[in-house]
Amino acid sequence: MRMLVTGGAGFIGSHLTDKLIQQGNEVVVVDNLSTGRKENLNRKAKFYKLDIRSPRLVKVFKKARPEVVFHLAGHVNVRESVNNPVADAEINIIGSLNVLENCRKFGTRKIVFASSGGAVYGGIGAIPAIEEQKENPESPYGAAKLAIEKYLYFYEKNFGITYVALRLANVYGPRQNPKKEAGVTAIFCYKMLQNQDIIINGDGKQTRDFVFIDDVVKAFLLAVKEGKRGVFNIGTGKETSVRELFASIKKLTGFSGKILYGPAKKGEQSRSCLDYSKAERKLNWRPEYTLEEGLRKTVEWFNSSHFKKRIRKARNN
């Protein structure tokens, strides 16, 4: 099929693009490289360096005529969204509407959206969270993700564009950027292997649901199948505290540096965990990687010659 991936040079988007091309699909990638990296790009994908808010996006859609759009591009920093809600909305809401309008104009039949489980549900409600419970986003980032889900419903009802919104837990794995993306696992792996001091915001007892990148990509692929639609949690159903995550990565890296505690950050909830039973029933998806298995693969990548070469190149530039 003809497919378009926004954010296809990023962490999740590049892994997804690789799998789509392996399956024999024609893939177009749109990414402004604000957090994505050129070295993540699959050479077989047609690449456009473009912001999703750009009027020039219409030319990409007109030429590509994608049957399916995977929408992963956007502003991903929760803390920055708290400090500047307007900028976050301009990218995540206005930019997404630009994508949706082009889907409508050029006959895209389905869109799969990367939503956020933790940010959408907030800190109030059942743990693990289920899709039917009330959403209480505690950050502009979470509010924007929820707003886009509602727009997706509007476009499906009025224009027949089927959608799947995947409410992702805390995704981690190889290629995650420890500098620009809000991934505590990547930050810990990078700093511990560099033997740099670790700073934990808050008391470290806050919990997250950590799901490995390969499992997440599998969910995106299953979401494309005929008849699949709606909102689904993609997580493990298990809570892990930041302190527990630290201890696991410390064991894998042999870290001997200091751990420091800073003030808690605004907009970040104390607990987050997702019930994936709906995805298991309707998408035939369930996580396959344990946290230990996923962390081992992640640490191996951060300790690889490939990543070290990337760091040296970045420093020289």
Annotated catalytic residues are 141
Q: How far apart are the first and last CA of the chain?
A: 38
- How does strand 46-49 pair with strand 26-31? parallel
Q: Three-state SS for 112? A: strand
Q: Which two tokens stand for residue 199?
A: 């700073």
Closest CA to 194 of 255, 259, 244: 255
Helices (H), 213-283: 213-223, 242-253, 277-282
Cβ contact 175:40 at 8 Å? yes
Count the neighbouring beta carbons within 10 Å of the beta carbon of residue 101.
15
Whether the upstream peptide bond of residue 85 has omega within 30° of 0, thus cis, is: no
Ramachandran sector of residue 204 (left: φ over 0; alpha: ψ -120 to 50; beta: rest): left
Residues 6+ apart with CB under 8 A from 247: none
Query: Exposed (0-12), middle (13-18) or buried (19+): which is 166, by Cβ within 10 Å?
Result: buried
Cβ contact 146:270 at 8 Å? no
H or E element at residue 306: helix 305-316
Amino acid code (one letter) for 42:
N
Residues 6+ apart with CB under 8 A from 175: 11, 14, 15, 40, 213, 301
Closest CA to 178 of 196, 160, 154: 196
